[in-house]
């Protein structure tokens, strides 16, 4: 099954790396959308279906955390899984993010295998 | 910087550089570094929370393209690698910062990291970095680079 993916990161390089890693991991991507900050991410989700969002935390204009909070307050967007991809390793921060509705957390640098495993888990795909 | 912190910072930086960009950093003596450099850039970011401080990395401009090329699987002279060079350097600094803070403070404290910036390197700044006790020197493929971690008072 192909997923419509949105990657929200202020680094074009990171967005490209996530796209490349999804391909390497064998995750089938339908539509691929990009945004440079949380506000652009919310705008990108208006009027189009997104299956899963990958988002950074620290971004200008609107952080990933603010974006998740806005999504949680929206009847439709709160159902879209968000995977935070960040450099931060604080367990406390990760718990705070999950309490806000974040589905999973991937710490950089990451491998295709890890990305695949997290996507499968978040999307409820069982692999034997 | 005490010896243990310097050892951890050096190890974390080398690991991140290798995992992310497939490049290898060798620790070097600051005394062996050039007194002045040309065509270098300085990446910097700050953090606050459990501790406040900053992380700075000085590298030659061509290394930025090489970082981007390695991360994205491009040739060094690819126009895309050149364009994405500063971005790749920021990401290297960002990941190094997150990793070293967790390594030094453990996984419970929360830090707020700024968005990294890259600017041209002034000769005076290279001298400042070289003279700072918070700076470590490395060579990456025989090219000198400097990394400085400054930690302020615990907030």
Q: Which of B1, B46, B10, B43 is nearest to B140 (CA)?
A: B10
Domain count along chain A: 1
Report the pLDDT value the prediction gives residue B88, as an integer from 0 to 100.
Answer: 95
* A11 with B91: Cβ contact below 8 A: yes
Tens-place pLDDT, residues B84-124: 999 999 999 999 999 999 999 999 999 999 999 999 999 99
State which residues form the domain around A80: 76-89+100-110
CA distance B36 to chain A (A): 30
Tell me, yes or no, whether A121 lies in a domain. Answer: no
Residue A117 has which token pair? 């495993």
List, in sequence order, every residue forming a beta bridge with B27; answer none if it has no partner: B138
Taking 60 as the threshold, does the pLDDT of residue B11 lie above it? yes
CA dist., res. A7 & res. B119, Å (int): 26
Tell me, yes or no, whether A64 lies in a domain. Answer: no
Taking 90 as the threshold, does the pLDDT of residue B10 lie above it? yes
Tens-place pLDDT, residues B36-74: 999 999 999 999 999 999 999 999 999 999 999 999 988
Q: Is the pTM of this model over 0.80?
A: yes
A to B CB pairs, distance under 8 Å: 69
* Residue of chain A whose Cα is closest to the Cα of B85: A13
Tell me, yes or no, whether A81 lies in a domain. Answer: yes
Tell me, yes or no, whether A52 lies in a domain. Answer: no
CA distance A98 to chain B (A): 15
First to last CA, chain A: 17
Substitution target from B46, B69, B91 for chain A, most A beta carbons within 10 A: B91
Tens-place pLDDT, residues A30-73: 999 999 999 999 999 998 999 999 999 989 999 999 999 999 99
Tell me, yes or no, whether A18 lies in a domain. Answer: no
Domains of chain B, with CATH numbers?
Answer: 3-32+39-154 (3.40.1550.10)
């Amino acid at each position: 099954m192909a997923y419509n993916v949105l990657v929200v990161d202020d680094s074009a390089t990171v967005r490209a790396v996530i796209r490349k890693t999804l391909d390497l991991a064998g995750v089938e991507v339908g539509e691929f959308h990009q945004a440079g900050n949380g506000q652009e991410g919310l705008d990108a989700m208006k009027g189009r279906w997104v299956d899963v969002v990958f988002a950074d935390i620290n971004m200008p204009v609107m952080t990933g955390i603010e974006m998740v909070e806005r999504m949680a307050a929206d009847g439709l967007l709160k159902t879209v899984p968000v995977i935070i991809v960040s450099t931060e390793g604080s367990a406390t921060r990760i718990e705070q993010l999950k309490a806000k509705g974040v589905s999973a957390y991937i710490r950089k640098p990451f491998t295709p295998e890890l990305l695949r495993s997290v996507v499968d888990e978040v999307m409820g795909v069982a692999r034997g | 910087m005490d010896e243990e912190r310097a050892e951890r910072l050096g190890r974390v930086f080398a690991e991140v550089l290798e995992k992310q960009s497939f490049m290898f950093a060798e620790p070097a003596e600051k005394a062996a570094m050039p007194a002045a450099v040309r065509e270098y850039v300085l990446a910097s970011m700050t953090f606050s929370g459990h501790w406040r401080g900053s992380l700075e990395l000085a590298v030659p401009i061509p290394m930025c393209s090489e970082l981007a090329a390695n991360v994205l699987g491009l040739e060094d002279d690819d126009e895309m690698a050149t364009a994405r060079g500063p971005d790749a350097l920021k990401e290297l600094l960002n990941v190094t910062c997150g990793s070293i803070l967790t390594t030094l403070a453990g996984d419970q404290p929360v830090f707020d990291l700024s968005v990294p910036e890259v600017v041209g390197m002034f000769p005076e700044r290279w001298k400042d970095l070289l003279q700072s006790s918070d700076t470590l020197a490395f060579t990456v493929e025989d090219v000198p680079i400097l990394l400085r971690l400054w930690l302020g008072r615990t907030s």
